[in-house]
Structure 1
């Protein structure tokens, strides 16, 4: 099966698929190269332990926010105590 490219020439679908995969690989390698460059710069910093601690705190805070957004909210301790106290004070209904 053949398709036409922007110049009007017919190209094979297999060649097109290979070109797409090669483009995706090139993009991934470019991103990995940038990451390695940033990591090399990061390892040369003198405040690396403090930076790591800040990163850990940031991740913990993000996790707390995410769980607060999606996890069911737990009942407040004082609300639970107040409900128990109210239940104890209520007189039993006469049958």
Structure 2
């Protein structure tokens, strides 16, 4: 490899590393904003629940994650149905 190719490759790699670090910093800042907003709207129980899931999810199998997701989606659907029924009652 010639010296000019080596310099070019080094420059490209340095730019890629800088780009990735900048993206990583931006993601961290966005997460902080989301967490700060969440802190003001989420109850202590909900925070505990999210903290527990944050710890356990990486350790769960794909099947367990799929089951848990389905379970959560079932709760979501039920909550939406209940909310819709309440709105219909209020409209009457």
Whichever structure has more strand as a proportion of its residues is: 1
User: Which TM-score bucket, shorter chain as reference?
Assistant: 0.3 to 0.5
Q: Please, what TM-score do these two structures have when normalized by structure 2? A: 0.47
Work out which of the two has the higher radius of gyration on C-alpha atoms and give 1 or 2: 1
